[in-house]
Structure 1
Amino acid sequence: MAEKVKLFGAWGSPFSRRVEIALELKGIPFEYVSDDKFKSPLLLKYNPIHKKVPVLLHNGKPILESLIILEYVDETWKDNPILPEDPHERAMARFWARFIDEKCMPPVWKALLGTGEEREKALEEVRECLKTLESVLNGKRFFGGETIGLLDIAANFIAFWLRVIHEVSGLEFLTADKCPALIKWCDEFVSCNPVKEHLPPRDKLIAFMKNWLSGDGWTD
Structure 2
Amino acid sequence: MIPLHELLVFALASLIMVLSPGPNMIYLISRSLSQGKQAGIISLFGVICGFLFHILMVSFGLTAIFFAVPYAFIVVKFLGVGYLLYLAYNTVKSDGNKIFDTKNHNLKKDNPFKLFNIGFLTNILNPKMALFYLSFFPQFIKPEYGSILSQSFQLGIVQIIISFCINFLIVISAAKMASWFAKNPIWVRVQKWFMASVLSGLAVKIAFAKAK
Note whether the superposition's TM-score is higher than 0.5: no
- Higher percent of residues as helix: 2
Q: Indicate the TM-score class for this superposition, using the shorter chain for normalisation.
A: under 0.3
TM-score of the superposition, structure 2-length normalised?
0.27
User: Quick one: higher RCO (CA 8 Å, sep 6+), 1 or 2?
Assistant: 2
TM-score of the superposition, structure 1-length normalised?
0.26
